[in-house]
Amino acid sequence: MLLPWAQISGAVAGGLVGGFSGFVANSFTEWRGQLRMRRNVAAALVGEIEGLCEQIRNSYLGRLVGSDDQPGTISNIPVYQLFRGERDYIPIYRSMGVHTGLLPSPLPRKLVKWYTGLAVCLERAHELHELARQRDPDWVESSTHLWDYQRTGFADLLSQADDLLGDLTHL
3-state class (DSSP) for residue 91: helix
Query: Are the CB atoms for 113 and 102 separated by under 8 Å?
Result: no
Which element (helix H / strand E) includes 143? helix 140-169
Rounded CA separation 90/87 (Å): 9
Indicate if the pLDDT at residue 80 is higher than 50: no
pLDDT of residue 84: 65
Q: Which residue has the higher pLDDT, 51 or 142?
A: 51
Indicate if the pLDDT at residue 69 is higher than 50: no
Mean pLDDT value across the chain:
82
The beta strands (E) that lie in 18-85 are given as 73-74, 77-78
3-state class (DSSP) for residue 2: coil
pLDDT of residue 115: 93
Cα(first)–Cα(last) distance of the chain, in Å? Answer: 59
Which element (helix H / strand E) includes 30? helix 5-55
Query: Are the CB atoms for 49 and 111 separated by under 8 Å?
Result: no
Rounded CA separation 167/69 (Å): 33
* pLDDT bucket at 158, cuts 50 / 70 / 90: very high
| pTM of the predicted model as reported, rounded to 2 decimal places | 0.71
Q: Which residues lie closer than 8 Å to 91 by C-beta, 6 or more apart?
A: 48
Q: Which residue has the higher pLDDT, 75 or 93?
A: 93
Rounded to 5°, angle at Cα 80 from 76 and 85: 130
3-state class (DSSP) for residue 29: helix
Count CB atoms within 10 A of the CB of residue 121.
Answer: 21
Tens-place pLDDT, residues 3-44: 687 777 888 888 888 888 888 888 999 999 989 999 999 999
* pLDDT bucket at 161, cuts 50 / 70 / 90: very high
Least confident of 22-31, 57-66, 133-142: 57-66
pLDDT of residue 157: 94
